[in-house]
Structure 1
Amino acid sequence: MFSDADAAALYDVLNPWDPDGRPDDGFYFPFVMGAESVLDVGCGTGAMLRLARERGHRGRLVGLDPDRAALDRARRRSDITWVEGTAAQAPSGAGFVLATMNGHAFQCLITDHDVRSSLAAIHDALRPGGRFLFDTRHPQARAWENWTPANPDDMVEIVDAASRPLRYGHHVDSVVGDVVTLRGTVAQPDGTVLRVLHDDLRFLDVASLGRFLAAAGFDIEAQYGDWNREPITTSSREIITVARRR
C-alpha cells in the first residue's frame, strides 16, 4: 500500500524547502520573513512556513491547502494556523500583508472560474496594498515535453521516509489548449507500481495572467522570467509575478 500519508511524505522528499540552496525558495523566503502576516495558499506540507517560524518569524502565519494528508504533516508545527480549503476559500477580510502561491501551485487552477474565484478570495484576504506573490511555468518553454520516461532527468530514484527505495517519473496523457494532464507514477525499483498521482496543470501566458489579475483588482508590481529577477524574454521558462492589491 502507498497511502495518502505516504504521498504527502514523498512530496517532502522530492521537494525539500531550502532557501539557501534553491533559487526558487530563496526568492520567496525574504518576502515571507519581511511580512508581518502571511497566507500561504496551496501550502502543502507547510515546509515554507515551518522554516520561517524556525528562523524567527514572530508574526501571523496561515497555511491553506485542500490536501488533508499534507496538512496532517504540516500540523506537526502547532504555532502556525493550518486551514483545509481551496484558494477560493481564502479567509475574507483577514488583512494579510502577503499571500504566496509557490511551487507552480497557481497552475492547478484549471478553469476561468477557478482562476477568477481564487484571485477574488486572495484579493479579499489581503489588506489594501498587500502583495500576492506566485509563479507559473511559461508556456513557451513547453516544460511538459520533458515529463516522459524517455527523459532520464525526469525519472528519479529516491529513498522515502519509510526507508523504501522508489522510482518516480511522469507521463503526459494529453495537452488540450493550455491544460496539460499528466500522471506521476511511484514504483518500486523493479517497476512494480505503488501509486499513480494524477494532475491537471494550466499554462497561462503573460497577457492572460495580466487580464485575470487586473479584473480581480491587482496591479502587477513586477514580473520576472527566472529566479534571478531577469526580465521575461522569448526564452524565459518562468513567469514570476509580484502583484499588489489595489
Structure 2
Amino acid sequence: MFSDADAAALYDRLNPWDPDLWPGDAFYDGLVAAADSVLDVGCGTGQMLHRARERGHTGRLAGIDPDRAALDRARRRADVEWVEGTAAQAAWHGEFELATMTGHAFQCLVTDQELTASLAAVRAALRPGGRFVFETRHPQARAWESWTPANGSEVTDPTGRTLWVEHRIESVTGDVVTFTETTAEAGTVLRTDRSSLRFLAAATLDTFLAAAGLVVEDRYGDWHRGPLTADSREIVTIARRP
C-alpha cells in the first residue's frame, strides 16, 4: 500500500523547500519575507509558509489546497491558516498584500473556466496594489519531453523504503499535457497517479490576467530576474491588482 499520506511525505522528500539551494525558492522566500500578509494558493504541504514562520515572519500567513493529505502535513504548524479548497474556492476579500502559486501549481488550472474562476478569486483576495506571483514552464522548452521512465529517480522515503518514481506521457493535446507518475518498490507498482498540466504561452497568459483585472508588473525568464527570451525555460510573472 502507498497511501495519500505516504505520497505527501514523499513529495516533501523529493521537493524540499530550500532557498539556499534552489533559486526559485529563494525568489519566493524574499517576496514572502517582505510582505505583511501572504496567501499561498496551492500550498501543498506548506513548506514555504512553514519556513517563513521559522524565519520570524510575524504577519498573516494563509494557505489553500484541495489535497487533504498534503494539508494534514501543513497543519503541523498551527500558527498559519490552512484552508481545504481549490483556487477558485478562495473566499477572501481584499485581505492580502501578496498571493503566490509556487511549484508550477498554476499549470494545474487546465480549463479556461478553471483559469478564469481562479484568477478572479485570487484578485478578490488581494488588497488594492497587492501582487500575485507565480511561474509556469515555458512551452517552448518542451519540458515534458524529458518526463520518461528513463529519467526516473530512486529515492528513500521517510520510512526507509527505497522507491522508484517515474513519469510517462500519455498525450499532448494543444497546450495540455497528460502524464502518469508511478511509484514502485523493488519492481512492484505501489501507486500510479494521472495528472494534466497546461503550458500557456505568455500572450495567452496575459489575456487571462487582463480579463481578471490583473496588470502584469514584471515578467522574467529565470529565477535571477533575467528577461524572457527564446531560450527561457520559465515564465515568471508578477501581476498587480490596481
TM-score, normalised by the number of residues in structure 2: 0.99
* Correspondence 1:91-110 to 2 at 5 A: 91-110=91-110
Instruction: Confirm whether residue 14 of structure 1 aligns to residue 14 of structure 2.
Output: yes
**In 2, distance between residues paired with 1:175 and 1:22?**
29
Q: What does residue 48 of structure 1 align with? A: 48
Post-superposition offset of 1:169? 1.1
Match of 1:197 among 193, 199, 204: 193
- In 2, Cα distance between equivalents of 1:12 and 1:127: 31
Q: Give the letter aligned to residue 187 of structure 2.
A: G
The match for 1:164 is: 161
Residue matched to 1:125: 125
Secondary structure of 1:20's aligned partner = coil
Give, in whole Å, the separation in 1 of the partners of 2:41 and 2:170: 27
Match of 1:71 in 2: 71
**For residues 146 and 216 of structure 2, what CA distance do their matches in structure 1 show?**
30
Question: Which secondary structure state, in structure 1, belongs to the residue aligned with residue 149 of structure 2?
Answer: coil
Gapped regions of structure 1 (runs ≥ 5): none
Count matched residues: 242
Runs of 4+ in structure 1 deviating by more than 3 angstroms, as ranges, are none
Quote the RMSD (CA, aligned, Å): 0.7
- CA distance in structure 2 between the partners assigned to 1:177 and 1:229 by the alignment: 29
Per-residue CA deviations over 1:215-242 (Å, capped at 9, x if unaligned) read: 1011111111111111011111000000
Q: State which of 171, 176, 181 in structure 1 corresponds to 2:178.
A: 181
Q: 1:243 pairs with 224, 239, 242, which one?
A: 239
How far 1:94 moved relative to its partner?
4.3
2:225 is aligned to 229
Counterpart for residue 57 of structure 1: 57
**Deviations 1:104-127, CA, capped at 9 Å, x for gaps:** 000000000000000000000000
Shift of 1:168: 0.6
* Shift of residue 10, structure 1, vs aligned partner: 0.6
What residue number does 1:210 align with?
206
Contact 2:97–2:131 (CA<8 Å) still a contact in 1? yes
Aligned to 1:80: 80
SS in 2 for 1:10: helix
Counterpart of 2:215, as a letter, is D
Q: Could you tell me how far apart the structure 1 residues matched to 2:69 and 2:231 are?
A: 37
Query: Counterpart of 1:146 in structure 2: which amino acid?
Result: S
8 Å Cα contact 2:94/2:128 also seen in 1: no
Aligned to 1:5: 5
Local SS of the residue matching 1:49: helix
**2:31 equivalent in structure 1:** 31
> Which moves more between the two structures, 48-57 or 92-101?
92-101
- Name the residue aligned to 1:143: 143
The separation in 2 between residues aligned to 1:131 and 1:110, in whole angstroms, is 22
Aligned partner letter, 1:155 = G
